[in-house]
Amino acid sequence: MTDDELMQRAFDLLYPLMNLGWTVNQVVDVFDATGVFFDNYAAVAFDKSEYRVVEYCEERMPATLASMRHVNRPDGSDAWRLLDGDGYTVLTVELAQPTDPLPVYVSALKEALIGSRVQSVTVSDSGLCLHLDDDYDAVTNGVLRVRVDAERVPFTVGDVFVNRGGADLTLCLCAQTESKPVVTFKIDQDALNGKELSFNVI
């Protein structure tokens, strides 16, 4: 199933329960699934190979479902967040293994870059090159409007995430010691939609 199909299936399951105002008693991991148990003795199970149930707080349960919100995760994937009447998160259901181009791209950057030290940054018409301290280069295409805080380079990568502003997708690289990005760039939507966005360490 595609990411959109999995998200729709989760919506079709969760929305009626929220609309009926069901009360969540507890969330429990059971072998290869995560079970959400309600006070009416009903339960739903999410296969761990497809979904992750996160951001639930046992201390706030039981919690009655009052609203449901579509959220964009920092890795570029989507999720459904269920809230109580006071606006507190009851739980969030996200995809376990997103396959859309954006989260796959962000995952590749995170795996390769977090913990690596960037010595310098080069920008060209063809893309962006991060020169790492072990004589490797991290190269990506599909970048627009690159911004580099030169005074903070070199730096050790602490986080990689997507910031969404309107229709734009901005990729942010942060240092381990602070949350303000050192390097940011807009992701070329044409390259993303055409599945031409690539990242390699050479």
Is the model's pLDDT at 130 over the cut of 80?
A: yes
- Look over the chain and give the mean of its residue pLDDT values, rounded to a whole number: 91
pLDDT at 178 exceeding the cut of 90: no
**How far is the C-alpha of 34 from the C-alpha of 69, rounded, in Å?**
20
Is residue 144's pLDDT more than 90?
Answer: no
Give the side-chain half-sphere CA count within 13 A for 124.
8
Distance CA 190, CA 61 (A): 44
- Looking at residue 155, its pLDDT comes to 93
What is the model's pLDDT at position 127?
86
Q: Is the pLDDT of residue 101 over 80?
A: yes
Provide the pLDDT for residue 22. Answer: 97
pLDDT band (50, 70, 90) for residue 166: low
pLDDT the model gives residue 63: 96
pLDDT tens track for 48-70: 999 999 999 888 899 999 999 99
136-145, 153-162, 191-200: range with lowest mean pLDDT: 191-200
Cα separation, 162 vs 23, whole angstroms: 33
Mean pLDDT, to the nearest integer, of 154-177? 89
Q: What is the pLDDT of residue 134?
A: 79
| Residue length of the chain | 202
Query: 48 by DSSP, 3-state: which?
Result: coil
Phi and psi (nearest 5°) for 14? Answer: -85, -35
Q: What whole-number distance in Å separates Cα of residue 201 and Cα of residue 52?
A: 29
- Tell me the pTM: 0.82
pLDDT at 190 over 80: yes
pLDDT score for 31:
87
Percentages (nearest 5) of helix, strand, coil residues in the chain: 20, 50, 30
| Cβ-proximal residues to 190 (8 Å cutoff; 6+ apart), any chain | 196
84-98 confidence digits (pLDDT tens): 999 999 999 999 999
pLDDT 10s digits, 6-42: 999 999 999 999 999 999 999 999 889 999 999 999 9
pLDDT reported for residue 195: 77
**Averaged pLDDT for residues 119-135:** 87
CA-to-CA distance for 65 and 17, rounded, in angstroms? 8
